[in-house]
Amino acid sequence: MTDPTAKTLLITGASRGIGRATALLAARKGWSVAINYRSDKAMAEDTAAQVRNAGAGAEVFQGDVAVSGDVARVFDGALAAFGQLDGVVVNAGIVADALPLAEMSDARLRKMIDTNVLGAMYCAREAAKCLPRAMTEPSASLVFLSSAAARLGSPFEYVDYAASKGAIDTLTIGLSKELAAQNIRVNAVRPGLSETEIHASGGQPDRAQRVGQNVPFGRPGTADEVAEAVLWLCGEGASYTTGALIDVAGGR
């Protein structure tokens, strides 16, 4: 018998880090997962294999969230594969080398906004088209991955990244009101310092362990700990939660 609580999620940037951890946790709940990736096909396929090994459905879709046509194609593919989406996790994002704003190039700033802000908006636009359902049905869920950087500012390192995540917080609040009547809950999780590959992409592979000593908990968080919050927001346990910005930041 089909589990009536089982869901189908689309997760962007699911080949690594928090996206991958969210996909694997969803699989352990029996939820099917549409796995989006931009360039690392091998890791995306490995994530899908682990989802299937857990007994859940998985399909892989390549696409760059900064390209609106790619986003539409990924959503179309996921809908064709699964018939319906119950949740979308907008996780794909980038960071760059630590620099003060005065030294950041036009190309860097444009890429940051194109990926982290426009990319999130492209995904949210597609989600707003495919997630609406009757108020008598279980609600759909749209979850953004923001960052504690949105309130900390990340001075001298990533103010462009922090600004892009501040935009995500505002988008979350606005869309939660805009989509509530269509039975779509919109929330964001703001991870703090977490042990993921994103630090290496920003040129500081040891940053999580180094800075983690200054977090009140005395350590960085893990992708699995963030995934727990994301999956709670996707589930019916959060059925009356919308417009929330949930910090998973160890008190920082």
Known active-site residue 161: yes
CA distances (Å), origin 4, targets 95, 127, 137, 236: 39, 22, 12, 12
Contact 1, 79 (CB under 8 A): no
Of the candidates 2, 71, 75, 9, the one whose C-alpha atom is nearest the C-alpha of residue 234 is 9
CA distance 13 to 116: 12
Q: How far, CA to CA in Å, does 197 sit from each of 95, 102, 104, 156, 222?
A: 11, 26, 22, 20, 11
User: Of 37, 122, 161, 240, which residue is the catalytic one?
Assistant: 161
Radius of gyration over every alpha carbon of the chain, rounded to an integer in angstroms: 17
Alpha-carbon distances of 66 from 80, 111, 192, rounded to whole Å: 22, 8, 24
Tokens representing residue 36 in the block: 């989006």
SS3 15: coil
The catalytic residue positions are: 161
